[in-house]
Amino acid sequence: MLDEREVERLDVEAVNSAKTRQPLYAARKKIFPKRASGRFRQFKWLIMAVTLGIYYLTPWIRWDRGPYAPDQAVLLDIANRRFYFFPIEIWPQEFFYVAGLLVMAGIGLFLVTSTVGRAWCGYTCPQTVWVDLFLVVERAIEGDRNARIKLETAPWSASKLAKHICKHAIWVAIAVATGGAWIFYFADAPTLLVDFVTGQAAAVAYITVAVLAATTYVFGGLMREQVCTYMCPWPRIQAAMLDENSLTVTYNDWRGEPRSRHAKKAAAEGLSVGDCVDCNACVAVCPMGIDIRDGQQLECITCALCIDACDSVMDKIGKERGLISYATLADYQSNMAIATDPATGKIEPKRARENGKLNPGIAHFRLSRIFRLRTFIYAGAWSLIGVALLVALLSRDRLDINVLHDRNPQYVRLADGSIRNGYTVKLLNMVPEPRNIQLSIAGLPGATMTIVGVDEAPGRVMSVEVEPDKLKTIRVYVSQPLDQIKEGGTFEFVIKDMGGSETGTYVANFNAPEAGK
């Protein structure tokens, strides 16, 4: 176990601290985050691997849909207006499923934020993930914090130049790969890769990659925390999602203050001392350049790296972990009340302890805090939409009929006196297999139909071949003998998949001249 004086004190300034915050027009002060290690860092590595894996690999997953549809598991086929997601195929008119998913994503963010705070920002936001990735490269080439600061202030030399070129080259490569992965969601990935490399791909592919590569490089490599602080609206919206029971990264000053580099000496002098040894480890690892000990701040993305940094120091000096921890405001306030001397109004960390251990009255996060009215409402709304979408998805039609009734002319009198109406019938075969669709008319006694292009005798039942995954437009003429015509005649077009069980109907009108004409 180390003495607190043996804990190295890092020379670091929180550049975005509320106390020293720069005016907006001043040049940005660069942040050199130190490498952190611990359970949250481990967790972040895991999330990073999963999210990057999903992003880069998804377009390469194959999914056999037979010979009439692409075999890419996830494909946004803009040109043909089809969206494929594993076994699900979505036509443009079904895009509300995607809208529903976006609504679910929104409510899901509310739910997550109200329980575990800005977890989205700290772990899964692309900005966070890519900045982390860029930092890995930076660290591998230029070294950790101190080495990087040294390199930054060193005069230009061949080695400095080489390091810079190397770092930026790798950044650009990552950026291009990032932009490159995006386009594979919109076309067959293996084909597009070959086309792209050989210069055969469409201009829009190169432009998309260029734009996304540029934004990735600038946001992830150069702008970093400024994107979160100045550009992103989400941190500001999230404030409305947080309440006193939401987890946030909290510096527990009720046990940390007064901080001291010389705790033993101060204690010997009878002064009150907290657990914080003022080593600045929490500031050094912060990618946002803040000092968490200043309290909750707009800039904090709750990446929890300061928790890792502090925990390792607490381990070294033999104190309980959690001087910086995920805590709710309610817990923090109740602990603060315990630790505050009612007489002086000052923090007395002694009050939080009994026999050198934390007071049993000290509140810690309990899972039950997650279950409260607010989260139930969010979870309820989220599940409701999810169930509705699922039911709609499972019961949706893969065979559909739309009918446009001719209005000019409204009806045609034929030589035998019967009356004919014309219809433009659209048959939607929404499966990637050719289907033989039976079209029949129900109602309208005595009526028969003919289909333009089908050389069959007029009848009440016809069959139409519809290509896989296509809409087929046919012209249908329905005639009814004059003596059978009733005013306001309606009937049904009925379709049936001959090779399956799917059916569909459309109620159509039949126009006829007024009686006696």
- Residues 368, 115: contact at Cβ < 8 Å? no
- Distant-in-sequence, close-in-space partners of 21: CB < 8 Å, separation ≥ 6: none
Is 210 or 388 the residue whose CB approaches another protein more closely? 210
DSSP state of 407: -
By CB under 8 A, residue 416 contacts another protein: yes
Backbone angles phi, psi at 39, to 5 degrees: -70, -35
Q: In angstroms, what CA-CA distances link 259 with 239, 252, 295, 307, 339?
A: 29, 11, 15, 17, 14
By CB under 8 A, residue 412 contacts another protein: yes
Q: Which of 380, 409, 445, 499 binds another protein (CB under 8 A)?
A: 409
Return the half-sphere exposure (C-beta side, CA atoms, 13 A cut-off) of residue 47: 19
User: Of 207-215, 316-324, 413-421, 504-512, which part binds another protein (CB under 8 A)?
Assistant: 413-421
Q: Which of 414, 442, 498, 507 binds another protein (CB under 8 A)?
A: 414
Is 145 or 420 the residue whose CB approaches another protein more closely? 420
User: Of 69-77, 140-148, 347-355, 402-410, which part binds another protein (CB under 8 A)?
Assistant: 402-410
Within 459-478, which residues bind another protein (CB under 8 A)?
Answer: 475, 477
Q: Which of 41, 118, 420, 496 binds another protein (CB under 8 A)?
A: 420
The 10 Å Cβ neighbour count of residue 495 is 23
By CB under 8 A, residue 450 contacts another protein: yes
Helical (H) or strand (E) element with 458:
none
- Residues 399, 464: contact at Cβ < 8 Å? no
Is 59 or 221 the residue whose CB approaches another protein more closely? 221
User: Of 56-64, 315-323, 409-417, 489-497, which part binds another protein (CB under 8 A)?
Assistant: 409-417
By CB under 8 A, residue 406 contacts another protein: yes
Q: Could you tell me the smallest distance in angstroms from the CB atom of residue 429 to another protein?
A: 16
DSSP 312-345: HHHHHHT--S-SEEEEEHHHHHHHHHHHB-TTT-
Return the half-sphere exposure (C-beta side, CA atoms, 13 A cut-off) of residue 487: 5
Q: Could you tell me the smallest distance in angstroms from the CB atom of residue 485 to another protein?
A: 13
- Distant-in-sequence, close-in-space partners of 141: CB < 8 Å, separation ≥ 6: 163, 166, 167, 170
Q: Could you tell me the smallest distance in angstroms from the CB atom of residue 452 to another protein?
A: 5
Q: Could you tell me the smallest distance in angstroms from the CB atom of residue 466 to another protein?
A: 13
By CB under 8 A, residue 516 contacts another protein: no
Within 8-37, which residues bind another protein (CB under 8 A)?
Answer: 23-25, 27
Q: Could you tell me the smallest distance in angstroms from the CB atom of residue 218 to another protein?
A: 12
* Contact flags string 288-327 toward another protein, x per CB under 8 A: ----------------------------------------
The angle formed by the CA atoms of residues 393, 395 and 400, to the nearest 5 degrees, is 100
Q: Which of 198, 408, 457, 515 binds another protein (CB under 8 A)?
A: 408
Kindly calculate the radius of gyration of the chain based on its CA atoms and give it in whole angstroms. Answer: 34
- Residues 142, 163: contact at Cβ < 8 Å? yes
Q: Which of 422, 432, 489, 504 binds another protein (CB under 8 A)?
A: 422
User: What span, in angstroms and rounded, lies between the C-alpha atoms of 59 and 186?
Assistant: 9
Positions touching another protein (CB under 8 A) are: 23-25, 27, 406-409, 412-417, 420, 422, 450, 452-453, 475, 477, 482
